[in-house]
Chains A and B, each alone.
Chain A
Amino acid sequence: MEAQTTVPSVPDAHPVQFHGSASQYFGIWIVNILLSIVTLGIYSAWAKVRRQRYFYGNTSVMGHAFEYHADPIAILKGRLIVVAALIAYYAAQLLFPLGSLVLLLLFVPLYPVVFMLSWRFNARVTSWRNVHFFFDYKPKRDYLTAFGVLVLLQVAAAMTAYLLIPLAAQRKWKLVLKRLSYGRQRFHEAIPAGPIFRGYFLSLLVGLPAWIALVGGFVLLAWMDATSEVPDDETAVEGISAIATPVMMGLVFAVAIISVMLAYAIYTARLRNTVFNNSEIEDVGHATSRLRPVKLWWIMVTNTIAVLCSLGLATPWAAVRMWRYQVETLAFTPAGDLDAVVDRETAAGTAVGAEWTDFEGIDLGF
């Protein structure tokens, strides 16, 4: 009897593509800034929408692009609320310095709310193939969990010398993905903590020496600045000045910052890869992420140098370059009938309801 060799079929992984170019975005970026200045910041809401639509719209999977549907007015309202809150806080700080500490404490229980509402907003205004994402946040049901993960766990992490950061990150992504869905299709996740911890410790290994050097350097600079006024202690100052010339200090700082960037890249890449590679959308498919830490770090470093040397003009080029790499290291493997996917709200029939009006557009970059 002939043994039948079955060749395992390679699933169809469709790479995510980005069609945009730096020159296209340059124009959008310049006009955004110019009009934002001229309108004293009011246009910034429209600028944000145009920027997002550019990046989302030029990103496509299997021939279909993403879309960003946020209403600029909603974003403007959100921004005005944030500005008002900031002004209130600064005014309180100036007029009642110790009372303002109380205000700061108020922000702590508010943070989980802002975080969850922000995810809800961003999910709702993002769509692919005409189906919107959905984030299921019900305050009564979810607030305590969110508070525990986003506040208590972070505090615990800080108190254990930041060793629990990977755990906090894992729980945060679990918190989010449990509530996220693409249309009616829910996300499922099985994110392990192990790889995140390993990535974190590797990044500490790389970054900690550099971080200590950076902090030590700042302290040294401050001490030198203080003692330079005193001519009495000249011998000590002379000794230090011989070693720590401005050029040398500059070099040390540059090397330290570049090393810290590498540490950041290692952790970020590991975290993103772990999250994407261990989650899926029910009956729709799953994504694979192949972000390489060194390549990510290289892009970060060269972007920074380019932006610095060009007095900021290279910012759009850097933004496009980073987005392209982040996006093109993703691939999507369909697993189901995409045609059957429908929006979560079609059942309701009507478009957005009144519940969306609160804190719409407050996007703190989560």
Chain B
Amino acid sequence: MASEAQSGPTGNQADNQTGGQFAGHVDGTWHPPGSARAHRARFARTPDGRLALTDLDADAPIEIEDGISISDRIAGAPRRVTFADRSVFVTRDDDALEALFGEKLRSSFFSRIARLERPSTRLFIFGGIMILAIVAAIRFGLPAAARAAAALTPVGINEQIGNGTLASLDRLMLDESTLDAARCKVFSDKLTRMAASIGLERNVKLACRKGTRVGANAFALPGGRIVVTDELITTAGNDNDVVAVLAHELAHAWNRHAEQKLWRAIGVGVALTVLFGDAGTLVEEMASAGTLILETSYTREHEREADLEAIDLLRSIGTDPGHLVTALEKLHKSCGDACAESGWLSSHPGGNERRAYLCAAIGSSEVADTICSQND
């Protein structure tokens, strides 16, 4: 990018024979337009203020025209002066060249940037602060931005995403539910009642599926759709335990956790490319590995949040929150091959940890009193 310097008046070469006193000069190389021919040359300002170019080898003047543009300053790289006829003068002496053109060039934006880029302890400290700021931004700013974005996304878009996701899940991993339609409706009604206590009865919908490849599972999709598999209903046995799981998923939907996750992924992707795209693939890969680790910690936070909020949701329809713990135990015990990585448990905090904070948060209830005092 070239900055426009003042156009030098055309040197009247006849007046400026070599041997005269030049007011200031810089040495370099001159090339005719589009040619690799190189002439050692001197670019100078004559005593009467005009710019003149002299071929040092031939000891003869070079005719130059109006309309000069000068490339931006960058440490160590040659500076290029391009004349109107597209011939160029190249030099490594930035300071002498800037002296030739005065304050206007020295104070141009990129000359200032180049001065900022000079190595100094201040710059190093800057760098350290920058790293900390970036880490803080990613650790705190990114989740906050994702929350805001999830909150601002129109419901229609979220629903569309959720429907689309369910469609692909149906195609790839889920089958039609083998459960009695009435049974599914029982759970659906309970879910709607819990949703009504937080004003979400219009958005939240239950989908019952046979989870052939995902086993006993339940999840909340963007837009308020909650999916539960037959296997989970069978494994839980007790209806209230299933409702407890649904309450947990409802809490996810209420907090738009699925939407936030999406936005975080987008934000990270964009941020990494913008910040580290030019620094090389290695740095970008390290940064993305770091954010992956962060993401699992966000997921655990979400899960804990959902667990604790499920307690209140269950109480709002008069169901004992202790069923959260019993559901946990049952699913834990029966989890075999079908559970693997996609089971309801695998992305959640460890069993004992969960049981502990759940029991503590519930306090006292009929079911909780029994199950929480049991030592496994």
Residues of A within 8 A of B (CB): 19-21, 23-34, 36-37, 40-41, 44, 46-51, 53-54, 56-58, 64-65, 67, 71-72, 83, 90, 94-98, 128-132, 183, 222, 225-226, 229-232, 303-304, 307-308, 311-313, 315, 319, 338-343, 345-346, 351
Contacts and interface: CB of A to CB of B under 8 A. Distances in A.
A58 B86 contact: no
A130 B34 contact: yes
A312 B286 contact: yes
12 contacts: A41-B274, A57-B78, A94-B164, A94-B262, A98-B171, A229-B343, A229-B346, A229-B350, A303-B282, A312-B283, A312-B287, A339-B35
Contacts of B118: 27
Interface centre among A64, A94, A96, A345 (most CB of B within 10 A): A94
A32 B74 contact: no
Given A30-B130, A34-B126, A97-B168, 11 more contacts: A37-B134, A54-B76, A94-B165, A94-B262, A98-B168, A130-B38, A229-B351, A307-B283, A319-B279, A339-B37, A346-B34
Contacts of A304: 282
**Which of A36, A131, A230 has the most CB atoms of chain B within a 10 A radius of its CB?**
A230
A95 B90 CA distance: 54
B128 to A, nearest CB: 7
Nearest to B75: A24
Contact of A44 (B35, B274, B282, B340): B274
Interface stretch (B10-18, B186-194, B239-247, B331-339): B331-339
Contacts of B120: 27
Interface residues of B, number: 66
B277 A94 contact: no
Contacts of A338: 36
B80 A311 contact: no
A340 B117 CA distance: 38
Interface in B90-119: 90, 113, 116-119
B72, B128, B164: residue with the most chain A Cβ atoms closer than 10 Å: B164
Contacts of B37: 339-340
Interface in B60-86: 71-72, 74-78, 80, 86
Contacts of A48: 278
Contacts of B76: 19-21, 24, 54, 57-58
Contacts of A345: 34
Nearest to A40: B274
B34 to A, nearest CB: 3
B130 A129 contact: no
Interface of B: 1, 29, 31, 33-38, 71-72, 74-78, 80, 86, 88, 90, 113, 116-120, 123-124, 126-128, 130-131, 134, 157, 160-161, 164-165, 167-168, 171, 262, 266, 270, 274-275, 277-280, 282-283, 286-287, 332, 335-336, 339-341, 343, 345-346, 350-351
A47 B77 contact: no
Contact of B34 (A44, A49, A342): A342
B274 A90 contact: no
Nearest to B137: A37
A339 to B, nearest CB: 4
A57 B280 contact: no
Contacts of A64: 29, 38
Contacts of A34: 126, 130
A83 B134 CA distance: 22
Interface centre among A40, A57, A83 (most CB of B within 10 A): A57
Nearest to A98: B168
A44 B278 contact: yes
A54 B36 contact: no
Given A24-B76, A37-B275, A230-B335, A130 B351 contact: no
Given A226-B346, A341-B35, A57 B74 contact: yes
B34 A90 contact: no
A58 B75 CA distance: 9
A127 to B, nearest CB: 9
Given A131-B35, A307-B282, A346-B33, A23 B113 contact: no
Nearest to B128: A313
A53 B77 contact: yes
Contact of A313 (B119, B131, B274, B286): B131
B284 to A, nearest CB: 11
Given A226-B340, A338-B36, A31 B165 contact: no
Contacts of B128: 313
Given A36-B274, A319-B279, A319-B280, A30 B126 contact: yes
B196 to A, nearest CB: 29
B340 to A, nearest CB: 5
